Chain A
Amino acid sequence: MFRWKVTAAVAITAALALTGCSADSNSGGDGGGSGGGTLTIGAITPPTTFDPAGSEWGNRSAFYQAVYDTLLLATPEGTIEPFLATEWSYNEDNTVLTLTLRDDVTFTDDSKLTASVVKLNLERFRDGTGPDAGYLAGTSFEAPDDTTLVITLDAPNPALLNYLTRDAGIVGSEASLTSPDLATNPVGSGPYILDTAATVTGTSYTYTKNPDYWNPDLQHYDTLTINVLQDATAGLNAVKAGEVNGLKLANNDNLAEVEGAGWTINANELDFQGLLLLDRAGTMNPALADVRVRQALNYAFDREALLTALQGGNGTVTGQVFPASSAAYDPALDDRYGYDPEKAKELLAEAGYADGLTISMPSSTVLGATTYTLIAQQLADIGVTVENTDPGNNFIADLLAPKFPAAFMALEQNPDWQLIQFMISPTAIFNPFKYEDPTVDALIAEIQNGDEATQEAKAKELNEYIVEQAWFAPFYRVQGSFATDANTTVEVLPTNAFPAIYDFKPKS
């Protein structure tokens, strides 16, 4: 009897040892319910720094969310919920936001979360050189007591609450903010603690559960590892070998293989791809000042064919830059410009370009040679010649300089006000010619100062106007894919490229 037990034990140990390579990544399934197990996920890009003032969101959000809490929480349902702040309210003209903070939160260096610490974080973010420092431009902060934070704005900012669910809302401990190692050794109040000894900066980040976390319901794992798998082949191999539980796919090229390995694809549509017709005043290319020319460019594209050819059909064709999750979205606008080269030629002739015209655009190897060939071909069909220049590493810098009247680009479709500030308003980054239109300006002002119902109604009007005026020639919204293995579930966010770290759960 005894000997039999030993034999069985040896056999089990041997079996475990033989499958050892995959055991560590499958152990996420052992947890069942909250706590226990390891979650290993793959990201496309490492964070540039753990300094809250230099933090970023998008594909880097998980690295920050693991150690830091945000003031507010964005949910997969698209709502904004309490987090470090339990309540918030605006004054009458939406220029003063008052937040009530939790009083039971401690950082992992045992210091307490207070309004003055939050104030310090927000000021550092606003004054820092992080990519999103502009989110808090024109704000000032006060901390009248330990649990009250008051944000005063120069002008209403309907996107502020959303910013506080992202990088701008991250809070680090006061002492850590002056540490020389802040970039690589973060101290937050988040669900996990970065294990710097087990972390290889730029490649693999290991976190352990924060034993004193104020919100244990969100801690579904004992250990969390985020591996950076930039190379698509390495990512696919990690999936097939079962070395990760979840992986953000850089593109949709390998969907079939990933699903074939028994994985689930969790999809959202965040980015649109298409032409930005930036020189709407015609200062660089006079033809683009004519709305008929811009509309003609919209009629030139067979969007379904482009989606199939360039994205394997993984996405949805669109004619508007606002996302489907937005109140401004109108499905009818997606069909506003069908594929109609004849109509395009007519419009060009009416505008005085019957003999055709030439438009210069930047190209980038990152977006693939096929893309540019197809665009050039479809435009050639209506008599428009594309002159492509590859600015190499200066692609975005040259685009924003601005050195090109139009460009093919992939841009994130943010929530409404953020999107307006990003690509429509006269000061928007992706309105590099600073083009202004009185109708647009009036609508923007109404959205900025109006109540929620006004904001939604006016955003809809603005969207329709922008489509009618053909500021852009969007092709499609690209499917963003996050793959999870059989032991793991996740819900994707409608407003971010990477799922929230709290939304990963072991399948029970």
Chain B
Amino acid sequence: MLGFVVRRLISGIVLIFVISVIAYTLLYLGGGDIARRILGQAATAETVAAKSAELGLDRPLPVQYVDWITSAFQGDLGRSWFTGQLVADGVTSRLAVTLSIVIGATLISAIISVILGVLAARRGGWIDAVVQFISVIGFAIPSFLIALALVLVFAINLHLFKATGYIPITTSFSGWIASVTLPIAALSLGAIATVAQQVRGSVLDALSRDYVRTLRSRGLGMNRVVYKHVLRNAGGPALAVLAVQFIGLLGGAVIIEQIFALPGIGQLAVQATSSGDIPIVMGVVIATAIIVVIVNLLIDLAQAALNPKVRLS
């Protein structure tokens, strides 16, 4: 068990290293004349050259990368070229925003999906049909359209929630709720569609297994069978889907953060990538890669805990 965790962590570190090399190279190749872009159209050629030298952009790519990764290993991710902010500060403060909405969306979609999935699998009939219909709709409508509709109704017309901006939970709890509810709702809908289908399939599959018939023949009630045994078996695949969803939501958050002007990591990544702010993009890439590695590890452990049959050697 411990060996498994260590192996996964080592492969995770290697993965992050490889990602950093690729990301740095791609950014550098696509960056163009970054000093010119920082300074804008009015700057003189002399100022642009001076800025380039100041940022070390006049050195060869491998030298710049080695310099970056050496500092990174010492915990120094540098400062943004475009805002002067420490990368570590920028990434952590924005990670809080993104994780608020992504974790919120994951939890809400998990709860609703399980309820809907189990209902659909057990009851069948019209309930199943309705759940299936909702799933298809949730699948088909992109989250940004849902977001725009939600803003129109709940922020602009009803003034119940905020249309733009983020209020930290430490500043005001009700403000935080007002600022994250719509983004979470917009993100959740697509996730619910996917996960509910998965739960429904897994529960149906488990229900048709021999052990259910055996349990039933011993006189156990259907509710007991479903909640004690079937869900446990169906939980594994659902968890895996949920993990994929979580990582997918990190990506989906990019658009949602733009629409709601939320200072999240996705918005930061978009701004930094389009402007060529290499220190910030690298910070975002590394932070995201670490999250993905950790989530995958946690999911493996959770699955092992849930189902002794897949216990890790």
Chain A contacts to B: CB under 8 angstroms: 18-22, 46-51, 54, 56, 129-134, 137, 182-184, 198, 200-204, 227-231, 233-234, 237-238, 240-243, 391-394, 396-397, 400, 411-412, 422, 429-430
Contacts and interface: CB of A to CB of B under 8 A. Distances in A.
B162 to A, nearest CB: 6
Contacts of A131: 38-40, 42-43, 47
Contact of A238 (B161, B164, B268): B164
A397 B52 CA distance: 13
B246 interface: no
Interface of B: 30-33, 36-47, 50-51, 54, 79-85, 89-90, 93-94, 148, 151, 155-156, 159-166, 171, 174, 178, 258-261, 263, 267-268, 271, 276
Nearest to B55: A129
B50 A234 contact: no
Contact of B45 (A47, A56, A200, A400): A400
Contact of A231 (B82, B155, B178, B259): B259
Nearest to B86: A184
Given A129-B47, A201-B83, A396 B160 contact: no
A393 B276 CA distance: 9
Contact of A397 (B33, B82, B178): B33
A234 B31 contact: no
Contacts of B148: 233
A185 to B, nearest CB: 10
Contacts of B156: 237, 240-241
Contacts of B259: 231, 233-234, 237
Contacts of A400: 36, 45
B295 to A, nearest CB: 25
A494 to B, nearest CB: 18
Contacts of A134: 42-44, 46-47
A241 B32 contact: no
B84 A229 contact: no
A134 B276 CA distance: 24
B182 to A, nearest CB: 10
7 contacts: A22-B159, A183-B85, A202-B82, A233-B259, A392-B30, A397-B33, A397-B37
Q: Pick from A182, A228, A392, A400 the residue with the most CB of B within 10 Å.
A: A400
A183 B159 contact: no
Contacts of A22: 159
A227 B80 CA distance: 19
Nearest to B261: A234
B78 to A, nearest CB: 12
